[in-house]
Structure 1
Amino acid sequence: MYRKEELPSVYSHPDSSVASSATQVVKNFLSENDSNIVNWQGENDAANPRNFPSWKKTINIACIFYLCLVSPFTSSVVAPAIPDIMADFASTDAYLSAFVLSVYVLGYAFGPLLISPLSEQYGRLPLYHAGNVLFTVCTLACGRANSLGMLAVLRFLAGAGASNVFALAPSSLADLVAKEERGRAMALVGMAYNLGPAISPTAGSYLNAAQGWRWVFYLTGILGGAGTLLSMICMSETYEPVILRRKAAHLRKQTGDKTLRAKSDTGPGANKIKAFREAMVMPFAMLFFSRPIFFTSLLTAVGYGYVYILYTTIPSTFLETYHWAPKKLGLAYLGTAVGNLIGMVGASVMSDSLVKRRALKDDTRPEIRLLPMIFWWPLVSVGLFMYAWTAQHAVHWIAPLIGTTIFGMGAMSAIFFTGTYILDAYPLHSASGMAACSVMRSLIGGLAPLFSHKMYQDLGVGWAFSLLALIALAFAPVPVVFYKFGEKWRGQERYGGRVVSKATA
């Protein structure tokens, strides 16, 4: 937020020399092209999130990291407790048990549709707070659920609240970090996204065995409450249009000049109701009418859906084929966690390095972000094939775990590359772009486990995952196609008479 103490307070001073000085200060805030448009006070304006001190950026990114860890952690921490939950409520329905797990991810699909447009009107911070509170309250309430229906509804609402990090975190990083350094920041947050669901089954299995399934929800609710307090105390607003609007409002009050306004308050978007309606439609417009958004979202959704298919079939593989003890089941998810870590670190280093090298040759196209996927994405198929046939033939348990590690490297690095691409290609509408991506990703991630059990039973682990591997392989040419045609496609996009895609940092 642009604090009052950071603004000049001399505009109403009766002394003419001070008033003259105030006039000059006001000029420093105004755009060179329009004397009524309030802008940053030079490139080094301390209120610009890109110019925040290192300690302030670090605190904001640390809070985002924590929230991004807790939100997906909650999605799968309950997985080892599902049998006990179903037994408690006297149900043996396999589809219902899968739904209790996946309904949280379905909440991810719908939350951003409201969160993203609201954030572009009111800023990131209020939406972080609202989502965090909803997540915390509903997760704690899950621990008191007295029916599967009540549990499912509360899980859905908790997922909708927790989706704020999927909708806002990438955009917050783009607000804070320059394009050339964005890959590493995205990798850090991406690591939190992906480590959460990978390590949570281990915690969930031991906690469920020790305290029962209700304490699984109490623990995650406590973690959510801690995140809510941290964000309220430590996080700052980072969305430039909102900061400038607040700055303009304060200057109007100080100077009495009612013509002063931020750039985002001018033109067709100045009508707040109309702007909100457009912002509500924007994610759908970008998803269905923007080829770059549609295909990157589809690619991400495939990787994300495969993760949850894998998570729902791991218990059958390691309990029935390898005869692991239930409380040790969570360890089977660590292969994916290691793959996530390797994929994120490797992808971030490769991505930022490539962007810097191409910039020296005056090639700043956002599509450069997708080129490393030529190497990384095929690892999805390699890992799935290895998992499929080593598990099918009961090869030593380390073999399928290596397969999940290779799979994790490919799937999660793809999520990273597509996320950074959307941020670079759609800077003004990054929240809507990420919301569009989140909708498709979460719908497939939430629905995939509902049919995976049947596929697993009919085809067996070998052919079921071989089929998924072949489907993934069909997407391998996508990075090359985007590199060749992506810029042209973005240049043809229109929404509400405006060019949606301007690849500016």
Structure 2
Amino acid sequence: MATRTPIEFLPALPTVVPVIKEDNLDPFLVAFSPSDPRNPLNWPTGRKWAVTDILSATGFNRIMVSTIMAPALPLIAKKLDMNSAEAAMALSIYLLATAFGPLVIGPLSEIYGRKRVLHASNVWFLVWNIACGFATTKGLLIAARFLAGFGASAVYSLAGGVLGDVWRPEQRGRSLSIYLVIPLLGAAVGPIIGGFMAARTTWRWMFWSTSIFQAVMIFVAFTTFKETYAPFILQQEAKRVRRETGDQRYQTLQERFHAVQSSSRSRSVFLQALTRPVRLLFTHPIIQVTASISAFNYGTMYIVLSTFSSLWTEQYHQSVEISGLHYIACALGEVAGSQLGGPLMDRLFLYMRARSGGEEHIPEHRVPLVYVGAPLVPIGLFIYGWTSQYLVHWIAVDIGIFITMFGMQIAGLPLQAYVIDTYGEHISSALAASQFLKSLTAFLFPLFAPAMYRALGYGWGNSLIAFASIFIGLPAPLIIWFWGSRLRAKAVQSI
């Protein structure tokens, strides 16, 4: 059965004093009632979409910045006297930062709330992205890119947490698909914009233009984004009631569990929260399986994004501007996959729930959708590899990339939903653990991709990735399907 946060079913807190539980047994428990409008799960739909859309637009900009440099790397390398390895590092170091950032930012959002962490990370990212545009040495550019990536990484742990905060399981597919449509465009739109900027203006405008957009998003977030993390909302309300009544017995369920009245215990809880993503990654098979599949696909995607432009300029002898346009195929595949995968996941949710004859959703029922998308990934890679190897018409290559990206999205959505279903109020920490592996592969895979293609060519190089995709992407979900319920039971006890 799906893991649910206790606050979803607990009584409400009125304006001035706490409400007594319906059974009158605990008048000092600060909690939500099932229909409490302050519970983010009970918010009006418009407010839910507001916080979702803010994260989506913020994610678009931060992900776009990760790839916008790709077409301009030769130009930047020449201007800042960088060799090929240093140029690749300037691109990839941003992704390395997004591996480590969520390990800290995810747990902090479960201590200080989503809103504070979002605002702080927005400002941090803006400062260092501006610094990238003013960099005059390769060292400064690489350092600023790393620090900007650290701030950008907040969206990876916050987004899933916020979606889990405000949307119920039967709405998870649609909310994920709508949230993802804009950020997914960012990864592919970045090289398109970068290609035109590199050809028509200074490369520094790649960072200045995205910084202007980020400044606008900071203003929108400060005026629109509301706190979504229910335990934090209750905790703030409990503090208010204790202050107004002078009675320290008013506490939330979480406060009672952690006994936060003790300062030494508070430090212990803080350290436990900060180490939670690492513990999940090393001790929870659910995270290990889902993160391994997602990480491989994510690394493969960044191999494509980092080498796609050079394929068209070196093999097909197209201009930098035109080479950037081929990223449209990547974007279309990702958008089509997310928009089809979201509704399919919700339909599957309703079908599997009705079939099981119960009202509760079983997270393992997400798994069958993985097998709709997983086989498409190697098929697309085979088409992409061998059509580019023999210089077949460009449309065939783009079709291969479209199929690959489409399959990745269809297979990835249910895995992300499974983690959200399983980890309740610790969604951000769980997604941070998953993001660590994803960002690590996104950083490492592009580093060996040029050497792989030189040695094997595009045909056998992409075939090698396709065979690895078959080996990893098809058997691994069966672990969740057959043993997921037992693993979830152990997971809840050890978080």
Which category of TM-score, normalised to the shorter sequence, fits these structures? Answer: over 0.9
Q: Name 2:3's counterpart in structure 1.
A: none
1:269, CA displacement in angstroms? 5.6
Deviates more, 1:485-494 or 1:195-204: 485-494
Counterpart secondary structure, 1:493: helix
Structure-2 change in CA distance of 1:30 and 1:167 (3 Å): farther
Contact 2:18-2:27 within 8 A present in 1 as well: no
Structure-2 change in CA distance of 1:56 and 1:166 (3 Å): same
Q: Name 2:482's counterpart in structure 1.
A: 484
Is 2:37 the counterpart of 1:37?
no
Matching of residues 3-82 of structure 1 within 5 Å:
7-9=14-16, 26-28=18-20, 34-40=26-32, 42-82=33-73
Code of the aligned partner of 1:114: V
Q: Match for 2:231 among 230, 235, 241?
A: 241
Matching of residues 231-380 of structure 1 within 5 Å:
231-268=221-258, 270=260, 271-360=265-354, 361=356, 362=358, 364-380=361-377
Code of the aligned partner of 1:472: S
1:29, CA displacement in angstroms? 6.8
**Percent sequence identity over matched residues?**
33
Is 2:211 the counterpart of 1:213?
no
Code of the aligned partner of 1:72: I
Deviations 1:191-225 (A, max 9, x none): 22321111111111112222210011101111111
Q: Match for 1:443 among 430, 440, 462?
A: 440
Contact 1:374-1:477 within 8 A present in 2 as well: no
Tell me how far apart the structure 2 counterparts of residues 162 and 29 of structure 1 sit (CA, whole Å).
42
Tell me how far apart the structure 1 counterparts of residues 225 and 19 of structure 2 sit (CA, whole Å).
30
Counterpart secondary structure, 2:134: coil
1:413, CA displacement in angstroms? 2.6
Counterpart secondary structure, 1:371: helix
Deviations 1:326-360 (A, max 9, x none): 11221111111111011111211111111111222
Tell me how far apart the structure 1 counterparts of residues 63 and 311 of structure 2 sit (CA, whole Å).
23
Structure-2 change in CA distance of 1:368 and 1:57 (3 Å): same
Across the aligned residues of Structure 1 and Structure 2, the Cα RMSD in angstroms comes to 1.6
Code of the aligned partner of 2:61: V
Contact 1:303-1:414 within 8 A present in 2 as well: no
1:90, CA displacement in angstroms? 2.3
Deviations 1:455-497 (A, max 9, x none): 1111111111100000000121222331111111222336xxx
Tell me how far apart the structure 1 counterparts of residues 87 and 221 of structure 2 sit (CA, whole Å).
33
Code of the aligned partner of 2:244: Q
Matching of residues 127-138 of structure 1 within 5 Å:
127-138=117-128
Tell me how far apart the structure 1 counterparts of residues 80 and 23 of structure 2 sit (CA, whole Å).
64
Code of the aligned partner of 2:312: F
Q: Name 1:20's counterpart in structure 2.
A: none
Contact 1:301-1:441 within 8 A present in 2 as well: yes
1:57, CA displacement in angstroms? 1.6
Tell me how far apart the structure 2 counterparts of residues 27 and 352 of structure 1 sit (CA, whole Å).
35
Unmatched tracts of structure 1, length 5 or more: 1-5, 10-24, 501-505
Structure-2 change in CA distance of 1:87 and 1:489 (3 Å): same
Tell me how far apart the structure 2 counterparts of residues 128 and 115 of structure 1 sit (CA, whole Å).
9
Is 2:173 the counterpart of 1:183?
yes
Q: Name 2:401's counterpart in structure 1.
A: 404
1:406, CA displacement in angstroms? 0.2
Q: Name 1:392's counterpart in structure 2.
A: 389
Unmatched tracts of structure 2, length 5 or more: 1-12
Counterpart secondary structure, 1:112: helix
Q: Name 1:459's counterpart in structure 2.
A: 456
Contact 2:70-2:309 within 8 A present in 1 as well: no
Counterpart secondary structure, 2:318: coil
Tell me how far apart the structure 2 counterparts of residues 424 and 247 of structure 1 sit (CA, whole Å).
26
Matching of residues 142-221 of structure 1 within 5 Å:
142-221=132-211
Counterpart secondary structure, 2:200: helix
Code of the aligned partner of 1:39: A
Contact 1:292-1:486 within 8 A present in 2 as well: yes
TM norm structure 1: 0.91
Contact 2:289-2:477 within 8 A present in 1 as well: no
Structure-2 change in CA distance of 1:269 and 1:180 (3 Å): farther
Code of the aligned partner of 1:293: I
Pairs aligned (count): 475
Deviations 1:134-189 (A, max 9, x none): 11110011011011111011111111101111010111011111110011111122
Q: Name 2:4's counterpart in structure 1.
A: none
